[in-house]
Every structure is written in structure tokens, then in C-alpha cells.
Amino acid sequence: MKRILDVARLHNVAWVAQLGWPWGIMATSLVINILLFASIDEAAPGKTSTGGLSSLYITTAIVAAISISQVFPFALGMGVTRRTFYLATVLVNVVQAVVYGVLLYLLNLIEGGTGGFGIGLHFFRVPYVDVSNGLLQVAVYAVPFLFLNFLAIFAAVWYVRYGTNGFFALATATILVLGLLAVLVTWQGWWGDVWHWLSTQHQISLLVGWPALVAAVAALGGMAAIRRANA
């Protein structure tokens, strides 16, 4: 375990890049949104929500992917095993998702307490994703980090192992499978059933349950792929 913690330091020793960019970009987005909505005289009720928060998730996922493609070759060169490196990566990403979830929840409370930064802005209180239970709200914020990061990590591990051609082959295969699935659903006229299934899913299943399951599968896939990867 100590070795895993030591290796985890590889990910956050240069914390400016790991923390600074995602939150910096999100803060910029927040400021722009506040200025934008403050400059609109009468924002229509319910129209003061924004997708600005997604910038944090996307940047965090990019940081996770870069950390694989850059930190892994360095770790291997320092005598770290693939297994230890990957477990440390999982640890860092899970802890990070929880911490980010708590931070977003606190920002959510601040936004609520200040009446949406005084202008009724819904930056952190995203409609549908805004739930009443505090602990649940942390999970709702945290799980999408896991979902996106572990998909990004899986893609990055695949790239490290199989190179550019392998990476695009995987992308092509994914498009092919998903595309054919869509064709099949359309051909069979199953879209109604699909929407029905989605609409009967509990909000928590859609926001937490299913994404967490996909994240877990991607994380296991990454583990399997990295065991034979060479930098």
C-alpha cells in the first residue's frame, strides 16, 4: 500500500497542472456566465441555467488521459510495475472524484445561499442533476468524473499499448458497433421501448448507478490492457 501511495504522488506532484487547469477553466467559465447573465436585463425564469460546469469534467478527463500517456512511461522507467501504477491511478481518480464532488456540493450551497450569485444563475445547480439530499448530491457530482475519467484512461492505455493505429481502430470499432446498434433499433422500431426504459429508470440509476457501472467496467478494461503495455 505504501508503494501505491508513493506512486500516486507521480500524478499530483505537479499539482498546478492537475488541479489548476480544470478549476481555472471552470472558474473562467463561471465568471463569463455571471457577466453574461448579469448583462441580460430580464433573464426569462428557468432560462438561467448553463452548461459551463461541463468544462470542469471535460478538462479533468483530458488531464487523466494525459497522465496515462505521459506519466506511465516515466513510471515504468523508474521501476514501477504496471499493476502498481494502475492501482495508484485508480486511487488518485477515485479520491479526486470524491473531493471534487464535495467541492462542487459546497459551491452548490453557496450558489443557493446567494440566490445564484445575486442574479439567479444556475451554474452548479444544474436542472435534473440538482437533488435534495446532500450526500446524494455529492455522488451525483462525483460519479460523472469517474465515468469520463475511466473511459479517458481506458482510451489512453489503449493508445499507449497499441499506438495511433490501434487507437483509431478502436474508435472505428466503437462507432461501428454503436452505429449498427442504432440501425438495429431503428429497423426493429425499438426506439419507443428504449425511451420508455430510460424514462422509467430512477433518477439516481441514471445519474449514479449506470455511469458508475460503466466506469467500473472501463477501469477493469484499463487494468487488463495495461498489464502487457510497454512504454
Partner 1 sequence: MSVVAAVGLTKRYRDVTALEDVTFTLEENAIYGLLGRNGAGKTTLMQLITGQNSVTSGDLTLFGGRPYENEQALMKVVFIKESQKYPSAYRVKHVLTLAGRLFPNWDEEFAQSLVDDFNLPRKREVRKLSRGMTSALGVTIGLAARAPLTFFDEPYLGLDAVARQLFYDRLLSDYAEHPRTVVLSTHLIDEVADLIEHVLLLDRGKLLLDAPSEELRGEVMDATGPAGVIDEFAGSRTVLHREQLGGTVRVTLRGSFDNAERLRAKKLGIDLEPVSLQQAVVRLTMERNTDR
In the complex with partner 1, the residue whose CB is nearer, 16 or 44, is 16
Residue with Cβ nearer partner 1 (54 or 69): 69
> Between 71 and 142, whose beta carbon lies closer to partner 1?
71
Provide the minimum distance between the beta carbon of 4 and partner 1 in the complex, in angstroms, as a whole number: 10
Residues lying near partner 1 in the complex (CB under 8 A) are found at 3, 6-7, 9-10, 13-14, 16-18, 67, 70-71, 73-74, 76-84, 227-228, 230-231
Q: How far is the CB of 110 from partner 1 (least distance, A)?
A: 30
Closest approach of partner 1 to the CB of residue 155, in Å: 18
For 91, 116, 117, 122, 176, the CA distances from 107, given in Å and listed in that order, are: 24, 10, 11, 11, 40
> H helices within 80-209, ranges in order?
82-113, 134-188, 191-200, 203-204
Give, to the nearest 10 degrees, the angle between helix 210-226 and helix 134-188: 80
Q: Say if residue 72 is exposed, middle or buried (CB neighbours under 10 Å; 0-12, 13-18, 19+).
A: buried
Q: Which is nearer to partner 1, 18 or 33 (CB)?
A: 18
CB of 31 vs partner 1, minimal distance in Å: 25
Minimum Å distance from CB 80 to partner 1? 7
Task: Identify the three-state secondary structure at position 70.
Answer: helix
Please identify, using beta-carbon distances, which residue of 76 and 107 lies nearer to partner 1: 76
User: Which residue type, as a one-letter code, is found at position 158?
Assistant: W
Beta bridge partners of 49: 122
